[in-house]
Structure 1
Amino acid sequence: MAIPRRRRHPDEPSFQMTPMIDMTFLLLIFFMVTTKMSKEQVKLEVALPTASAAIQPEDLSNRDIVNIDHQGTFYVANNPVSSGELKAHLKERFKNAPPLKIYLRADKDTPTRKIREVMKMATEAGAADVIFGSYTR
């Protein structure tokens, strides 16, 4: 006499919550750290000009911050650099993480030729978007 075989039902698929919670915490920590870094890059004291038609963009993330003080010295974030170093930095940045977006903060007393110089470097590096820092009236 043959013993009837039991039919096995496939296990019900289950959803694992632990990896999802881990990813949520990792993303939270990542955004907290990058936000702090972005704020640190804007710490350099620059007397921004005022503009009556200034509009603040909704998203300032993923932008290289270039500062120019009143003497015309270039800074990547808060580190002083020469024009050659800035040019190399922008090209490297574009190569590694396109598109290149720049937030240019120039002192209101910065010589105009220095701003044009940065704009030329940004164009040569392949910048897709350059915004200028200013205060609204």
Structure 2
Amino acid sequence: MTDEDGWRITCFAINTKGWRLADLEVRHRQRARAEDRIRNLKDTGLRNLPFHGFAQNQIWLEIIALAADLLVWTQNLAWHDHPARRWEPKRLRLRLLSVAGRITRSGRRRRLRLPRHWPWNNLLDTGWAALQPG
């Protein structure tokens, strides 16, 4: 409703009876998280079904679910202590996934080559190092 001295006052109206206030708030916040996930899935490709057949669209939905899971797991594992862990797919695509990088092999090691002046190089380097085995 308002911000006063750094405190945000919120409310929600329901017609559920017999619940404790703390339980109702948890239920409400879980619903908001589910709606955020659906919005992120739509940004990942769920917005339109590109095929006419049911089976093809079913495969498309499974690929979208896999892509969303990969994004979330990569964020949690690569940037567990950075705000990038909470970025939505649009921001990830703009800042991290659209860079023209190259993975090379040299001396039995894989290396990630990035453009020198890309503003998020250090974040990509940190994530790359965190996801490497060993």
TM-score (ref. length: structure 1): 0.29
Q: Which structure has the greater CA radius of gyration?
A: 1
Instruction: Please give the TM-score of this superposition, normalised by the length of structure 2.
Output: 0.30
More strand by percentage: 1
